[in-house]
Structure 1
Amino acid sequence: MELIYSLKNRLLSGGSEVCRKEALELIGAPLEELTSAARELQQKLCGTSFHLCTIINGKSGRCSEDCAYCAQSCRFHTGADIYGVLPPEEMAKSALNNYQQGIRRFSIVTSGRALTDQEVDEVCEGFSAIRKSCPIGLCSSNGLLTLPQLKKLKAAGVTRYHCNLETSRRFFPSICSTHTYDEKLQTLRWAKEAGLQLCSGGILGMGETMEDRIDMALTLRELGVDSVPMNVLNPIPGTPLENCPALPYDEIRRTAAIFRFLLPKKQIRMAGGRALFPDKGLALMESGLNAAISGDMLTTYGISPKDDFSLAEKAGYHTILS
């Protein structure tokens, strides 16, 4: 318990960041004291604002990659929808609907290793249509794009680019063999060079260790990521991870709290899988997380913005932002 308070007070006073050795020691710290301290860090360093965003599956299925968790890989038989880039008017309609529900950030997510130049142009047409329909903030998640492609997104009004690391460098080859960790890192560095904020996180419960999660968080800190989605595996029938056992909720809470110690001023964002939790993530909001992806995920159901507004208010957040 002494370590928890020492690290908390050091961060609150503007002292040095939590190092890997210290983070590893938090794995065995008392859970309730740890989550309470993480919540205090979040409140004092980030304020009482909660950040909500929504996504649309802008292109679905036929992905060439073999990511073991993914319903959209062409290598697995999951029954996921298959379609090309959505028409601009359909993207704009979805964005406007979310904006009218109080959401202030919206992302177009597409399947596949990367988009072609033509597909990037089609997505940019979608962003153009969205900008005409409402003033919602724009994000994009389109795989391993090049610097010129990322600059196109920036010119189309996108302010943040998403590319999940998924896990640590050590564990990554266990879940994907068709692209590398370094390719993901390069994409994020190019996105930053293009003038975009960064959104990157991972998935808990794929067989990784707590050390892997800590190493991923440290890599995200080195990259200067602004928003960190914390997904929990929702095992999809037909994928190699379909029989993975569910993580204990207390382990997820502990991970959330440790992330807050490692990334004290960032948006740490509940994402896929939380619809499976009995409290829909309320305990995570009380363990240092201050953001969420609302609405449905890419191929699974999520939690409605209305319910998320209620959850955030119940957790003591006073303002909902993008």
Structure 2
Amino acid sequence: MKITNIRVLTDNILAGLRLQRGDDFSLFLTAPLPELQEGAARLQRHFCGNHIDFCTIINGRSGRCGENCRYCAQASCHHTGIDEYDFLPKEEIIRNARANQEAGANRFAIVTSGRALAGKDFEQALEAYKEMRDTLSIDLCASHGLLTREQFKRLRSAGVTSYHHNIETSRRFFPQICTSHTYDDRIRTIRIAQEEGFCVCSGGIIGMGETWEDRIDMAVSLHELGIESIPVNALMPIPGTGLQNRPQLSGDEILRTIAIFRFINPTANIRLAAGRKLLPENGATALKAGASASITGNMLTTSGTTIKEDMEMLKKLGLTNAEEGCTAGMNTCGSR
């Protein structure tokens, strides 16, 4: 299909059309940004209402990762000077989760470095999730790498409902950013998580040297996978990593990417992640033009925004983080 008019395309998507691999997406790159944003905003209002889903994360284990992802500050092959520590005490994790819940976050995730969480550290994570499930109401997410089916079963039993595992970029460009595991390793992990009943949160990073075609390919791949939550990270080049000299993206380029992702994944939560500081008004513009979710609070290796600041921003924008959500799979993403 050839896309010739953004307004007509928006109407057709609202009526049930879904874009597919092989469609002509060139208009997304030439249409005036305000026109593209207007269409993305209409789609967002229709499928997500006024709801903005806020998730928070804690870096549960840091550094000493044996993978060679070129963007990552935690890879042992890079020399970034980040803090390195083993799995955090359960008490510290639960204290953070409770504070985030009280501040209004919808979801809390433990994120750990390394190819996969295993052994004693995985058992500690399970204990933390079980106690949070029993004592808190916040929804639980995990991000522990390339897990086995049995591990996913145990996570689900412990109360985790969402699993985060980015595909990072297009299949074509993936070998340019990582060779210690494959794109198919990531796809396999996502499919197992879905088969075991998890809502999967999966997106990627833009600004690593990929083309616009790579970004569109990533968006289409996420649509084909049925992903319900899509974090869009803008690379924040970190000294000591393999991408330390990459130029930062402009706010307009990030906004165009977010709008395109909304057109290709109209019912998903498009989630602001790393690089929010590069956006106009710290992401407020994006939250009215395609983005229906955001990571909030202290992020992994880039500065974030406090939950209080984000709640104040929502109020000014006439938005809410009350439990409504996009139409795609919110019972899976937001229920225990």
TM-score (norm 2): 0.92
CA RMSD of aligned residues (A): 1.5
| Number of the residue aligned with 2:128 | 126
Q: Corresponding residue for 2:8?
A: 6
Q: Is this contact kept in 1: 2:54–2:321, CA < 8 A?
A: no
The match for 2:141 is 139
Partner of 2:89: 87
2:244 is aligned to 242
Deviation of 1:122 after TM superposition, in Å, equals 1.2
User: 2: CA distance between counterparts of 1:317 and 1:155?
Assistant: 34
Equivalent-residue separation in structure 2 for 1:67 and 1:316 (angstroms):
39
Match of 1:274 in 2: 276
**Equivalent residue runs for 1:1-322 within 5 Å:** 3-17=5-19, 19-321=21-323
- 1:71-116 Cα deviation digits (max 9, x unpaired): 1000011011111111111110000010110112100000001111
Matched length? 322
Check conservation: 1:128, 1:156, Cα contact below 8 A.
Answer: yes
The separation in 2 between residues aligned to 1:133 and 1:302, in whole angstroms, is 27
TM-score of the superposed pair, with normalisation by structure 1: 0.96
Matching residue's letter, 1:256: I
SS of 1:21's equivalent in the other structure is coil
Q: List per-residue Cα deviations over 1:200-253 (Å, max 9, x = no partner).
A: 000111111111011011111111111000011111110011111011211111
- 1:2 Cα shift? 5.4
Q: Distance in 1 between matches of 2:134 and 2:44?
A: 35
1:20 and 1:214 in contact (8 A); partners too: no
Amino acid at match of 1:271: A
The CA distance in 1 between the partners of 2:162 and 2:22, in whole Å, is 28
Give 1:304 shift.
0.5
* Matched letter for residue 41 of structure 1: L
Distance in 1 of aligned mates of 2:227 and 2:24? 21
Secondary structure (helix, strand or coil) at the match of 1:33 reads helix
CA distance in structure 2 between the partners assigned to 1:272 and 1:17 by the alignment: 27
Worse overlay, 306-315 or 203-212: 306-315
> Secondary structure, in 3 states, of the residue corresponding to 2:52?
strand
Aligned-pair identity in percent equals 49
- Aligned to 2:238, the other structure's residue is in SS state coil
Task: Give the Cα–Cα distance (whole angstroms) in 2 for the partners of residues 27 and 147 of structure 1.
Answer: 40
Unaligned runs of 5+ in 2: 324-333
| Distance in 1 separating the partners of 2:39 and 2:307 | 28
Deviation at 1:142, TM superposition (A): 0.3
Any conservation in 1 of the 2:251–2:280 contact (CA below 8 Å)?
A: no
**Change in CA separation of 1:23 and 1:310 when aligned onto 2, cut-off 3 Å:** farther
* Kept in 2: contact 1:161–1:196 (CA 8 A): yes
Q: Deviations over 1:170-209 (max 9, x none)?
A: 0111111100000000000010111111100001111111
